[in-house]
Structure 1
Amino acid sequence: MEIDSPWFVRRRQIAPSMRLFCFPYSGGQAGFYAPWQAALGEEVEVCDIQLPGRGARIRETPLRSLDAVVDAVAPLIAEEDDVPFAVFGHSMGALLAFEVTRRLIHVYDRAPARLFVSGCEAPRLRSPGTMHLLSDAALVDELHRLNGTPQAVLANRELLQLFLPILRADFSIGGTYAYQAPAPLDVPITVLAGTRDPYTPHARVAPWLDESQRVGEVRWFHGDHFFIHSSQADVMACIEAALA
């Protein structure tokens, strides 16, 4: 993998026709999306967004607000103007992908070909979250429920001591997010959701489509909040078809 910016981790493709910027879920780091490169092929260059506090940036202080991430990432993506691009985000990453897309359009006049939002209720329906305020024990219980953190991490006290501050910062990004009603985007939106995701009720998924004036789609996948793991092949097929 190539790291040409602290924020971007990718394997450069020789002549891609599309670049897919991928934002992580809470506690996630660049590397999760790395297998997507082989699945999507050389036509699509997968570029992971690496947030501070993890991976090669482990010594950096994690950011705790969505605006801070958008301020840092949007101008960097705007500079990547050699090929068309799309934006993907799962859970917390969906909010980041949405707000970065808004910033790219309104400030930099750069619109993605498509916005993918995954595992997240529509932003206008969100209420302030409190997970970043939980005790360590209660937070670990929630991680067990989410089913996205390796058991080896949850069972290791030393790893948890490293992981929990990052997770709290990420949950703060989502928990303190304040939606401001914008004009609908001129970008098609593909919404991905898990059929058994307890954090994304079915009725709160489709309203994502109201954020765009273009025709979008909602796609359901078998699985819980981390259906992008359990149904990865189907998710890849969905993304590949939407980018074709």
Structure 2
Amino acid sequence: MTTTSDRTMPGGGSAWVLPAPGVAPAGRPLRPRLICFAYAGRGASVFQAWQGLLGDTADVCSVQLPAREERLHDAPVTEVAALRQELLPRLRPWLDGPFVLFGHCMGALLAADLAVALRADDGIEPDALILSGAAPPWQQESLGDDLGAMTDGEFIRGLRKAGALTARQIAEPAALALMLPAIRADYQLFESTRRQRPRPSVPPLRCPMSLFAGDADAAILPEQVRDWGALSAGRSELTVFAGDHFFLETAAELVAGRVGDEIRRVCR
């Protein structure tokens, strides 16, 4: 029996990894692969314009977690160890050539966690790790142990206070209600990542890192983002964009352009 998580999708992807239209199937890379991880509650559609923005620089593949978009009815994953177990076997076929991991906000925590897991389990690293709009887990404060017990109203108020909702999400409460299970699950994922990834005494990675921050992000300061450098003995560079926590979308062309610069730099 084929489950949702094992289903083959158009373009040779799975429910977990969605290649952009025209991207070469796993096993036949034509260009470096850019593996993208969206922020809490969102999915692969965040990156739907990126193949056009990057052109021939890279093949864009987006990770699609359960409980969102076309996986809306799939059970969410709330523990990072369980996510690794589910995602890594489906991600490995796409790591058959040069590859770069990119994540924003919650996606940055997942990209970093998987980079460390790939180094430990497979002896491989991304050609670059690009982390955006997030402080490392050892810099993060707990969101509380009662996330699962909060009412929707309490949870939404907490998200608004933290600056973790876009203006569009706030203006469209019906659409936000559909996204709440995914957002809640992602914040539980955040808590499990925070517990399992203390500040390393020895950098577990060697790959170069590009770090992105927003100059008006009320939740994450650029200096907090800079502390991701403790994760790798390689080069670490911080770029600060104009915008709040969601500069990934408001400055999409600039962000994608900087990502393209890094890919060309490391995948010559």
Q: TM-score, normalised by structure 1?
A: 0.90
Are the structure 2 counterparts of residues 7 and 222 from structure 1 closer, same or farther at C-alpha, using a change threshold of 3 Å? same
User: 1:29 maps to what in 2?
Assistant: 43
Shift of 1:28: 0.6
Q: Which of 75, 83, 88 matches 1:69? A: 83
Please say if 1:57 is aligned against 2:77.
no
Please say if 1:154 is aligned against 2:141.
no
Q: Contact 1:192–1:218 at 8 Å: present in 2 too?
A: yes
Q: Contact 2:166–2:246 at 8 Å: present in 1 too?
A: yes
Aligned residues: 242
CA–CA separation in structure 2 for the residues paired with 1:93 and 1:85: 16
Q: Contact 1:70–1:96 at 8 Å: present in 2 too?
A: no
Where 1:117 maps in the other structure, the secondary structure is strand
- TM-superposition CA deviations, 1:163-219 (whole Å, max 9, x none): 212211111111332123443111111110101111112331211112110111001
Question: Which stretch shows the higher mean deviation, 126-135 or 64-73?
Answer: 126-135
Q: Which of 232, 239, 242 matches 2:259? A: 239
Are the structure 2 counterparts of residues 205 and 160 from structure 1 closer, same or farther at C-alpha, using a change threshold of 3 Å? closer
Please say if 1:10 is aligned against 2:26.
no
CA RMSD, 1 decimal? 2.1
Q: Contact 2:132–2:212 at 8 Å: present in 1 too?
A: yes
Shift of 1:151: 4.0
User: 1:170 maps to what in 2?
Assistant: 186
User: 1:39 maps to what in 2?
Assistant: 53
User: 1:206 maps to what in 2?
Assistant: 226
Shift of 1:34: 1.4
Letter of the 1:214 counterpart? G
Gaps of 5+ in 2: 1-9
Where 2:114 maps in the other structure, the secondary structure is helix
Question: Which stretch shows the higher mean deviation, 42-51 or 76-85?
Answer: 76-85
Are the structure 2 counterparts of residues 189 and 71 from structure 1 closer, same or farther at C-alpha, using a change threshold of 3 Å? same
Shift of 1:49: 0.3
- Which aligned segments of 4 or more residues in structure 1 are displaced greater than 4 angstroms? none
CA–CA separation in structure 2 for the residues paired with 1:81 and 1:140: 37
- TM-superposition CA deviations, 1:103-143 (whole Å, max 9, x none): 11110122110001111012222222238354322332344
CA–CA separation in structure 2 for the residues paired with 1:153 and 1:162: 14
Q: Contact 2:209–2:235 at 8 Å: present in 1 too?
A: yes
Letter of the 2:198 counterpart? Q
Question: Which stretch shows the higher mean deviation, 193-202 or 128-137?
Answer: 128-137
Identity %: 29
Question: Which stretch shows the higher mean deviation, 5-14 or 110-119?
Answer: 5-14
